[in-house]
Amino acid sequence: MVASVPDLREMAIQQMADAYLQVTVFVAATLIFFHVVERYFAIDTGEVLRKNRNLQVPIAAFLGALPGCGGAVVVMTQYVQGSISFGAVVAVLTSTMGDAAFLLLVKEPTTGLLVISISIVVGTLSGYIVNWTHPEGFLEIKRDEANTGDEYCEPTPPIAVWKTTIWFGLLVPGVVLGLLIAFQVDTTGWIGTWFGFDGILLAAALAALFSMFFWASESSLLTFSQNHLIGGSRSTAVMADTNFITLWVVAGYMAYELAVHYAGLDIRSFFGTWAVLAPLIGTLVGFLPGCGPQIVMTTLYLNGAIPFSAQLANAISNDGDALFPAIAISPKAAIIATAYSAVPALIISYGYFFLFE
C-alpha cells in the first residue's frame, strides 16, 4: 500500500527512519545496559522479596517503575509462586508504565523521570493502603498451591546467527547516528541520495523494517516476556523487546500522521473541546493488556495531541505485559488489581488537570 502511493511512501519512510534513529537505537542501548548490570550485579529478586515482607510494597513499586516490563513480570512471577502479598501486586501494576517508559525517557527525559517518580510514590501508597484495608492474606497464593509459571511458558529457541548479526550490525551505526541527530548535528548528505531519498533516511527506514520483519518472523519474539520469566538468552530478550517497541512506535507515528494529515482528524481540537475527558480516556486505554496501546498513547502525548494529564493517567493505570501472566494464573487478582490502579490514576490525573491545565 505504501509503495503504491508516492506521498504515503515518503511519509512512511520518514516515520520509520524517525522511529529507528530517535527511539529504537536508544531503547536497545538502554536494554543492553540493564542486561549488563543484571549480569554482573546478580540479585535474587525473589529471595529479597521473601526475606523483606515489610518492604515488599516499595520494592515491588520500584521494580514496576523500571522501564520495560521485566521488573513487573518478576514481581508477578513471585506472586504466583506465593511469595508476596496482594498489596505488592497492586503496587507493581500501579507503578509500571511498561515499554512506553522507554519512549518517554528517550524523547523527554525530564518528563519521563517525573512520571516514574510519581508512579513509585503512588504505587507504594496504593499497595500499603490495600494491605492495611484488606484482611491479612487477601487474595494471596499459598506456597504449596503455587504455580511456577512453567505451564504457560515454553523455552524460547535461539535466533538464527545471521539475523542476530545483521540486527546488531545495523544497531551500531544507528546508535552513532542517533546520538549525532540528538545533538543537532546535520547528517544530511553524509551517505548521498538513494532512489530519490536521503541515504541515511532510507537506511534507517530499512533498519526499522528489518526490526519489524524479525519480530513477525520469529515465533520466539511474539512471546518476548518469556525471556524475563525463564531466563532466556539476553540477546534474544534485547532484540525481542526492541523490535516489539519499534513495531508499535512506527504504528503510532503512522497512525498519527495518517489521522492528522490524510484523514483531517484534529486530535488537538478534540481534546481541547473535551479536555475534561482526557484523564478518563488515558485511564481506560491503560486497562488494555500489553504495551502496544500505551506506546501509541505516549506517542500522541509527545506529538502534543493529548495533554499531560492523560499521559499521567495512562502511566498509572496501565499494567504493561505483567498483566498477561497475572490473567493466565490468577484472573481474579489481576482484574481486581487493575481496577484498583484506576483509582489513583483518576485522582492524580484529575488533580493535575484541575490545578495546572
Per-residue pLDDT of the chain (357 residues; tens, 9 = 90+): 666 777 788 888 888 998 898 888 887 887 787 777 767 776 666 677 777 778 899 999 998 898 877 677 778 777 877 778 899 999 999 999 987 888 898 889 999 999 999 999 999 999 999 999 988 878 776 655 544 444 444 445 556 778 888 889 999 998 888 888 777 677 776 777 766 668 888 889 999 998 888 888 765 444 444 444 444 567 777 887 788 778 888 887 888 778 777 777 777 777 777 889 999 999 999 888 777 788 888 988 998 889 999 999 999 998 876 676 667 667 888 889 889 999 999 999 999 999 998
Entry pTM: 0.72
In one-letter notation, the amino acid at residue 244 is: F
Residue 46 inside a domain? The answer is yes
At residue 83, the 3 state secondary structure works out as coil
> What is the extent of the structural domain holding 237?
6-262
Q: Which residues contact 127 (CB under 8 A, 6 or more apart)?
A: 56, 57, 58, 60, 61, 87, 88, 89, 90, 91, 92, 94
Q: What own/partner pairs with CB < 8 Å and gap ≥ 24 does 115-119 have?
A: 115/311, 115/312, 115/315, 116/65, 116/67, 118/312, 118/315, 118/316, 118/348, 119/61, 119/64, 119/65, 119/94, 119/95, 119/315, 119/316
Residue 90 inside a domain? The answer is yes
In one-letter notation, the amino acid at residue 74 is: V
State phi, psi for 198 to the nearest 5 degrees. -55, 135
- Count of structural domains within the chain: 1
At residue 274, the 3 state secondary structure works out as coil
Residue 10 inside a domain? The answer is yes
Residue 14 inside a domain? The answer is yes
Alpha carbon of residue 90 to chain centroid: 18
d(CA 89, CA 107) in angstroms, rounded, equals 29
Residue 327 inside a domain? The answer is no
β-strand partners of 193: 198
d(CA 5, CA 28) in angstroms, rounded, equals 32
Residue 236 inside a domain? The answer is yes
Residue 13 inside a domain? The answer is yes
Q: Is 23 exposed, middle or buried (0-12, 13-18, 19+ CB in 10 A)?
A: buried
Residue 241 inside a domain? The answer is yes
Q: Residues 30-81: pLDDT tens digits? A: 778 777 776 777 666 667 777 777 889 999 999 889 887 767 777 877 787 7
